[in-house]
Amino acid sequence: MGKILMVYASLSGNTEIVTDIIEGNLQQLGHEVVVKSFDFDVIEMDELADYDAVLVGTYTWDDGELPYEAEDFYIELEHADIEGKIFGAYGSADSFYDTFGLAIDLMADRARNLGADVLDERLKIDLMPEADDEERCANYAKKISQMIAGKNKVSA
Ligand SMILES: Cc1cc2nc3c(=O)[nH]c(=O)nc-3n(C[C@H](O)[C@H](O)[C@H](O)COP(=O)(O)O)c2cc1C
């Protein structure tokens, strides 16, 4: 069992729904989940150390860009100690765009470059999650759970 931070940006609510689904799945797997919003909460880089895993949810904006509310986090991440930290990026985007979900890749790539243990899967949900997306979210949560279990085993 682990303690997981989920922090998300959502303008029209899709990424928020995805966050809720993943949160529920993680709780079912026995994890403690803290959910924060880039809009309403302060996220200190120091607090990342308190979590076994950090999941960042973001929509994509403006030709493949991060939303402005997630930019500070993206920049400050560079000064955070996330080496070896389990990290995932997910969100809603629109496959109509050539730049489908690129903000999710930006976040995952940055964490990987900083030495985090980034989940290979970048969960990109096309607009509002549908029934098959719920299954993808459940699998995503399962993979994060397995990564936490694997790490706990090594350190035990
Ligand atoms: C002005 C504008 C620009 C957008 N640009 C992109 C984009 O470059 N790539 C992409 O995949 N989606 C793009 N989208 C789609 C959003 O990411 C998508 O609607 C997503 O579901 C919004 O998530 P939210 O409901 O969590 O805010 C854009 C949407 C708007 C309104």
Residue 155 scores a pLDDT above 80: no
Task: Report the separation in Å between the CA atom of 30 and the middle of ligand 1, taken as the mean of its atom positions.
Answer: 32
Two tokens, residue 82: 């996330």
CA dist., res. 136 & res. 147, Å (int)? 17
Task: Please write the tens of the pLDDT for every residue from 43-102.
Answer: 999 999 999 999 999 999 999 999 999 999 999 999 999 999 999 999 999 999 999 999
State if residue 57 touches ligand 1 by the CB under 6 angstroms criterion.
no
Task: Report the separation in Å between the CA atom of 118 and the middle of ligand 1, taken as the mean of its atom positions.
Answer: 23
Residues 69 and 8: beta-carbon distance below 8 Å:
no
Residues 22 and 119: beta-carbon distance below 8 Å:
no
CA dist., res. 90 & res. 151, Å (int)? 21
State if residue 92 touches ligand 1 by the CB under 6 angstroms criterion.
yes
Task: Please write the tens of the pLDDT for every residue from 114-128.
Answer: 999 999 999 999 999
Task: Please write the tens of the pLDDT for every residue from 91-100.
Answer: 999 999 999 9
CA dist., res. 3 & res. 67, Å (int)? 26
